[in-house]
Structure 1
Amino acid sequence: MSDIYKAPEAQLTSGEEGGGYGSLERGVAGDYSISIGEIFGEAWRRTKGNKGTVWLAIILYIVAFVVVSFVAGMITGYSAFDIEQQANASFGSTILYQILVNLIAAPLTAGMMMIGIKIARDEKTSATEVFAHFDKLLPLVVANIIMSILVTIGIFLLVLPGIYLAVAYMLTLPLIVDKNLGPWQALETSRKAITKHWFAFFGFLIVALLLYVAGALPLLIGLIWVLPLLAIAFGVVYRNVFGGPESA
């Protein structure tokens, strides 16, 4: 009897190594290294000439998210921008609102992630990459929903399982658009790969959070440099683990 929780080996080993970095097979096997200092050092160097691209993508993301949130609020009667309206909204309206917003947020987030990844791999990209992955809408949304449910359950189970899964699933969305994996395959591939070096990834996220806070403190001015740095650092991490795109 086959194990339904195991990502198919055929899809996990078919990718070619990208640029001398990782691959699906090597990533799942844990055959990679995570050096936080080297990752942020490389990401900082790569921000030169790429800050404008990342920032324009961020602006496009925010505008799209605000518009979708506004439209979803008009449809459901729930508003993310009105606390009083939130208090009066029904449970059904709240759930419908979250579903509608998630339909747009998942591919937008995947697009933002892919910008950092493509910069890390010296591939051509632009700010409009943020809108480039709506063809993967269904698997991205399904993966986001499964991820949210499992992390929430883990949080209720003594918190630590939720923290483990939140970190372990951080590479799920780009795996769907970059490696053409299905939702569960991407979740399991991300989890298996990250579990091999989980504490290194946890440390990476802690450093990223500290940099974000430090950038936000002086009137948010530091975020001009920090947000592109973080986007590209994520791309470097993904590249080191999973390498380049799947060959057609």
Structure 2
Amino acid sequence: MSDIYKAPESQLAENSEAGDFGSLEKGIAGDYSFSIGEAINEGWQLSKGKKRTVWFAIILYIIAIAATSFVAGLLTGYPAFDLTGPASASLSSTIIYNLITGIVGVPLAVGMMMVGIKIARKEETSGTEVFAHFDKIVPLCVTYIIMSILVGIGFLLLVIPGIYLVIAYMLALPLVADQNLGPWKALEASRKAITNNWFAFLGFFIVLILIYLVGGLALLIGLIWALPLASIAYGVAYRKVFGGPQGS
């Protein structure tokens, strides 16, 4: 008798797992379920056994950012590692330095996001994921620039529009890397999807900040658990809204 019911049970399990994946269309339509508690709890569960992966990515990210800052400093004459130097740096060297570090930093940051997203989707990934998205450096940087401009304008308009956009654009950059959307389509997809559940994502954003802050206590030891948890919880949120190539 057990063989008779084996296939339906397996199918139900697969359907349940698939139901936890959003898609681009469902996300934009608001046809998804998102709970702060569920995202954090699943992030914690999935972080078991994956902390090394996340921390390897973090270490590579830090090394890459430091190396980029060093090289950009040499090229521009900007005193990147001198705490008292930046105030006396020329305007041109400051602009070029920030431009170089920004262009390199965006795909690195997106790589960090994708580590958490892939762990949340139970896909194979490694710390070297931070270097995996330089092929999309142009659309990623354009997306980041447009997002920064719009958020800046929003803060000039009585602050509240800026806060709205900071939350609404939370998932935009991974959409460019993960689902090959253009800059404006990614921004609009993230905005429309999150607007359907904006206050929940505001709460999620605040919880992530609190996790970082609490993790920074006790001589930063708590970050060993806090950073993987926050990274994967973000990935869970993305998966629930937009799924991905395997869940779309």
TM-score by length of 1: 0.89
Q: What is the 5 A alignment of 1:85-234?
A: 85-234=85-234
- Name 1:72's counterpart in structure 2: 72
Q: Is the 8 A contact 2:21 2:247 kept in 1?
A: no
Letter aligned with residue 155 of structure 1: F
SS in 2 for 1:83: coil
Give, in whole Å, the separation in 2 of the partners of 1:21 and 1:246. Answer: 9
Deviation (angstroms), 1:92: 2.4
Q: Which runs of 5+ in 2 are unaligned?
A: 1-16
Give, in whole Å, the separation in 2 of the partners of 1:79 and 1:205. Answer: 33
Q: Is the 8 A contact 1:178 1:246 kept in 2?
A: no
- Tell me the matched-pair count: 232
Deviation (angstroms), 1:18: 6.0
Instruction: Describe the superposition over 1:95-145 as per-residue Cα deviations: whole angstroms up to 9, x where unpaired.
Output: 211110111111111111111111111111111111011100100111111
Give, in whole Å, the separation in 1 of the partners of 2:218 and 2:246. Answer: 42
Deviation (angstroms), 1:56: 0.4
- Name 1:11's counterpart in structure 2: none
Structure 1 range deviating more: 204-213 or 232-241:
204-213
Q: Which runs of 5+ in 1 are unaligned?
A: 1-16
Instruction: Describe the superposition over 1:10-33 as per-residue Cα deviations: whole angstroms up to 9, x where unpaired.
Output: xxxxxxx96651000000011112
- Name 1:53's counterpart in structure 2: 53
Indicate how the Cα distance of structure 1 residues 247 and 116 shifts in structure 2: closer, same or farther if over 3 A, else same: closer
Q: Is the 8 A contact 1:77 1:85 kept in 2?
A: no
Give, in whole Å, the separation in 2 of the partners of 1:231 and 1:247. Answer: 20
- Name 1:13's counterpart in structure 2: none
Deviation (angstroms), 1:85: 1.9
Deviation (angstroms), 1:93: 2.0
Deviation (angstroms), 1:91: 2.3
Indicate how the Cα distance of structure 1 residues 81 and 37 shifts in structure 2: closer, same or farther if over 3 A, else same: same
CA RMSD between the two structures = 1.7
Letter aligned with residue 128 of structure 1: T
Report which of the two has the higher share of helix.
2
SS in 2 for 1:82: coil
Q: Is the 8 A contact 2:215 2:223 kept in 1?
A: yes
Large movers: runs of 4+ above 3 Å = 17-20
Give, in whole Å, the separation in 1 of the partners of 2:162 and 2:103. Answer: 23
Q: Is the 8 A contact 2:153 2:162 kept in 1?
A: yes
Identity percentage of aligned residues? 64
Structure 1 range deviating more: 226-235 or 154-163:
154-163
Deviation (angstroms), 1:84: 2.6
Q: Is the 8 A contact 2:65 2:105 kept in 1?
A: yes
Indicate how the Cα distance of structure 1 residues 21 and 113 shifts in structure 2: closer, same or farther if over 3 A, else same: same
- In our comparison, the structure showing a higher alpha carbon Rg is 2
Letter aligned with residue 229 of structure 1: L
